[in-house]
Amino acid sequence: MAAFAERYKDFFHFEVLSGGMIPKESAKHIKAMAGFIGDAYKRVEELTGAKFGADYLWHIQNPDESDWVPESLTPSITLSVFKEYAPEKQVQIAADFQKALFEEGRDLSDGEAYRHLLEKYSVPAEAFYQKLSDPVYAEKARYEFALCRQLQVTGFPKLLLQTADTKFYLLAEGYTPLETLNARLENIMNELATSQKNSTEN
């Protein structure tokens, strides 16, 4: 996704929305999902070429010793704050959050997990930690959750191309190779160009 966004950054505005996959109200200790992740992560590595870090896998392989209770609200609030300071780098920010969790084993429910990224995106530390507990930003995150439901996003990640107020094309749902994304986008753009040409001629 980062490579796709970099390639087309001069042609499209990229926006990352938080889907709220794990509501804070129903968050459970990591051991509730450790068994599933422990079985599935190798398949993800084989499919995508991504590697899970040892610090992350420790929590999966030693769930009884972990203090993790994963939830989506805190990282979503954080994303809302970061987007204020670097709106043109939303995909890169999301990628860095993913790296912080899955490679570096940082607990994204802990505000300290993001401190190493503040300078990179010119986010003032004092302002960040104030906003992290500000209800306004929690509301921003929940608004994005609601927007994703409205867009009928039921799986993550999902990539949509918006061409009008209510017109969206599905580019990807779940892991999709870069070559496939490029081909799908090209097909859609050709379709739109043909449609516009026909409309003009008529």
Q: What pLDDT is attached to residue 154?
A: 85
197 inside domain: no
13 inside domain: yes
The DSSP call for residue 89 is: G
Structure tokens at 182: 């490029």
Tokens 């912080």 found at: 100
Alpha-carbon distance 8 to 152, whole Å?
25
Q: What pLDDT is attached to residue 199?
A: 72
8 Å CB contact between 76 and 24? no
117 inside domain: yes
Residues spanned by the domain of 138: 1-25+71-156
19 inside domain: yes
40 inside domain: no
**What are the C-alpha distances in Å from 177 to residues 27, 47, 172, 201?**
31, 9, 9, 37
Residues contacting 2, CB < 8 A, separation 6+ = 91, 92, 95
6 inside domain: yes
2 inside domain: yes
Q: What pLDDT is attached to residue 143?
A: 97
Q: What pLDDT is attached to residue 202?
A: 61
163: phi then psi, degrees, rounded to nearest 5:
-115, -10
Q: What pLDDT is attached to residue 19?
A: 95
8 Å CB contact between 163 and 169? yes
Count of domains forming the chain: 1
Residue 54 DSSP SS3: helix
149 inside domain: yes
Q: What pLDDT is attached to residue 145?
A: 96
Q: What pLDDT is attached to residue 195?
A: 83
Q: E strand or H helix at 194, and its extent?
A: helix 178-201
Q: What pLDDT is attached to residue 56?
A: 98
- Does the model's pTM come out above 0.85? yes
pLDDT one-digit tens code per residue, 3-25: 999 999 999 999 999 999 999 99
Intervals of the chain under pLDDT 50? none
